[in-house]
Chains A and B, each alone.
Chain A
Amino acid sequence: MSRAEVLEPGGGGGDPADGRRGAGAGAGAGAGTRPVSPLWTFGLFRSELTTTFRRWRTLALLGVLAAVPVLIGIAIKIETSDGGSVGGGGPEGGGGPAFLTQITNNGLFLVFAALAATLPVFLPMAVGVIAGDAVAGEANGGTLRYLLVAPAGRTRLLLAKYAATLVFCLAATLAVAVSALIVGALLFPLGDVTTISGTTISFGDGLVRAVLIALVVAASLIGLAALGLFVSTLTNSGIAAMATTVGLVITVQILDTIPQLHGIHPYLFPHYWLSFADLLREPFYWDDVLRNLGLQGVYAAVFGSAAWARFTAKDISA
């Protein structure tokens, strides 16, 4: 395949994804003769974004994530329809994900409960699939070398792929949060929000906190996204990269529950994930949230640069 053919904007039939790639890379080639312009990176990023979000796989993942709050909401509605309380109301009431007991009083708590329920498994799994597939999937499909024919540079391509993965992190979190908000509003009353410190704030303030929490949850996945991207550069098999990333998530989560290993817990990326609940205290308790964000930053830097080292030095044969 000649270079011109690949770069022809929107050119070629075949896989529509490849066609879009052409468009993105074409925009890059146009600017390639001049000194680097910001638009150039942006074109590559946009092409990555459309490729990611037009996949059926991505849409299915988002659909599954959006279905979780629906399930939780309906389950609680049914359980409490006879006037009973959640969790049997025993002295140890409040088992299961956090915030479940509050949902019947305020639908907004479904947002927090759904995020608390999806953050340990569903969200990282979805991110692991997308991040793991980012490079390895292209290599597997044989499209990676054509992507690199464009003089965009491997670093730039990697950055674009990481940025697209981060956008997916945000989209996945918002899918859960928005779906939970809609279900919560439909099934349960809305109103003033009781923080977990026992104080009451207005519904508007509660919504602001929900948005803040969604952002923190999305940011909690930054480290995992970098880890997945690194794994993705190690192999040419998309499936292997996805499985490894998801497997790593599960392994690390298990390590995080073994009390004898408490010495290493603060360095495990999921350790502070549930700290987003600290934003529901009055006043805010930032310590663990900041620790979480710092840890994610370190993971992103370490595994992002490892992915860069690997990807820029790799033999691309497919």
Chain B
Amino acid sequence: MAPNDSAQITGGNDEAGDLPADRRRAARYVVPVAVAGVAAATIGLVPALAASGDPDLPKITAAQLIEKMAASDTERLSGTVKITTDLGIPSLGGLGGSAAGALAPKGGAGDGTDGGSAAEPTGRLMELASGEHTLRVATDGPDKQRLSILDSAAEYSLIHNGGEVWAYDSASNEAYHAEAPADAAKGTGKGKNGAHGKDQAVPRSLPATPQDFAREALKASGDTTSVTVDGTARIAGRDAYQLVIKPKQAGSTVGSVKVAVDSKTGTPLKFTLLPSSGGKAVVDVGFTKVDFSRPAASTFDFTPPKGTKVTEADESKAAGKDQIHKAPKGAKELGSEPNVIGEGWTAVVRLDTGAKAPTAAASKDMPAEAQQFMDALGDKVEGKFGSGTVFKTRLVNALMTDDGKVFVGAVTKDALVKAANEAK
């Protein structure tokens, strides 16, 4: 090294520009290129290698696996959950009104976050309905749960301990307090549009962990569903069976649902919902880390830090009522008389809004630009029922007819039109 260096310093040697020296110089650049290559290969290969090692587990039938899940008595658990949702809609909070029926979670978010405290659970949990989030969950029996949404440099925690529910939002330093979960559920449920109110009770019945999603998926299944075991996988460092749930009926937008079930405890570790149209998963919820030992008791303790603004559930309920009055008339009436057509995966909900659809009313009330915007959002369709507009997401589609009826379901456009024709 040293002689080489001192030779170069003089500069005289460099001017000679002989070939070996040039080659030696060029060779030096191999080092950074090689380092970059090794780094890229490591980043690319490590996940691939980690994913390829499917564990060897004894064969099991679908029925046995479901039994195992049902018998699972996992009461203590803590872990990190990654949830990715891609409904194929832009994350517009204010989309609410027109699409409230179709995008219940999204519409709910629009209504919920406006009411009072930034720490109120309903609105915050609805954020999970779009994008990618990292959650931390901990459970110790039925009385103690904790759910934290990890934001950038902030965290939103929902803590249920005995008769109390606390929510703490570190970004705004605000807390939300409710006496008992049942009351809280009632309070916030009222603020929702009726059809989905029961799904939005706080905090437990809102699906956030793979268990919740798996439970909902199995509840929906019946004769219309094929359930099979499809190999094994390694999720969060644990061996798991893959349960595949597929709708038998044609016309559903759900392609298949995959649930990875822990081979030892029977706890669902990962839930993936693939659309029938192919492409990326619509919902993908899975543990990235999981631990079945008892979480530290302090995990479930919460005392509002000094200086924190605390909103009580009662006040917030009042704010929620306010919201209802302010909510657009159409959205409120959407929930008035749901009517289910068909069953299983292709069930379509019919709602009579009574009012003319926005598209029809447009000529009077709506500026031309808004009219164009509405048209751009949906596809025009015609059938025996008349004509209407179909609003599409990757999972749920909604048909709004010009005479004010709304058909919503996790079905394709054609199936919606068929349902509308039959309902005529």
Contacts and interface: CB of A to CB of B under 8 A. Distances in A.
A267 to B, nearest CB: 8
A302 B39 contact: yes
A101 B172 contact: yes
Given A153-B1, A154-B5, A313-B28, A105 B302 contact: no
A292 interface: no
Contacts of B307: 102, 104-105
Interface string B303-343: 10111110000000000000000000000000000000000
B171 A101 contact: yes
B173 A101 contact: yes
A116 B32 contact: no
Interface centre among B24, B153, B301, B306, by most chain A C-beta atoms within 10 angstroms, is B153
Contacts of A99: 153
Contact-size category for A: 35 or more
Interface centre among B1, B9, B29, B308, by most chain A C-beta atoms within 10 angstroms, is B9
Interface stretch (A61-69, A89-97, A235-243, A247-255): A89-97
Interface residues of B, number: 50
Interface in A176-227: 194, 196-200
B59 interface: no
Contacts, number: 129
B170 A198 contact: yes
Contact of A98 (B32, B159, B171): B171
Interface string B1-42: 110011011010010000000001100110110011001000
B154 A98 contact: yes
A196 B155 contact: yes
Contacts of A93: 118, 171-174
B28 A309 contact: yes
Determine chain B's interface SS by DSSP, over half rule.
mixed
Nearest to A266: B43
Nearest to B1: A153
A308 B33 CA distance: 12
B173 A148 contact: no
Contacts of A310: 29
Contact of B9 (A116, A194, A316): A316
Nearest to A317: B11
B207 interface: no
A306 interface: yes
Given A94-B172, A98-B171, A302-B35, A153 B154 contact: no
Contacts of B14: 315
Given A151-B2, A306-B29, A316 B153 contact: no
B116 interface: yes
B126 to A, nearest CB: 14
B32 A281 contact: no
A145 B303 CA distance: 64
A13 B224 CA distance: 93
A93 B118 CA distance: 8
B11 A315 contact: yes
A149 interface: yes
A89 B117 CA distance: 10
A104 B136 CA distance: 28
Contacts of B152: 98, 274, 277
A269 interface: no
B150 interface: yes
Interface in B140-170: 148, 150, 152-155, 157, 159, 166, 168, 170
Interface centre among B25, B152, B301, B305, by most chain A C-beta atoms within 10 angstroms, is B305
A151 B7 CA distance: 11
A72 interface: no
A198 B173 contact: no
18 contacts: A89-B309, A91-B114, A91-B117, A94-B172, A98-B153, A104-B307, A105-B306, A105-B308, A148-B5, A154-B8, A199-B302, A274-B153, A281-B155, A298-B36, A298-B39, A302-B39, A312-B5, A316-B8
The 4 A-B pairs of least Cβ separation, nearest first, read A98-B153, A105-B307, A277-B153, A306-B32
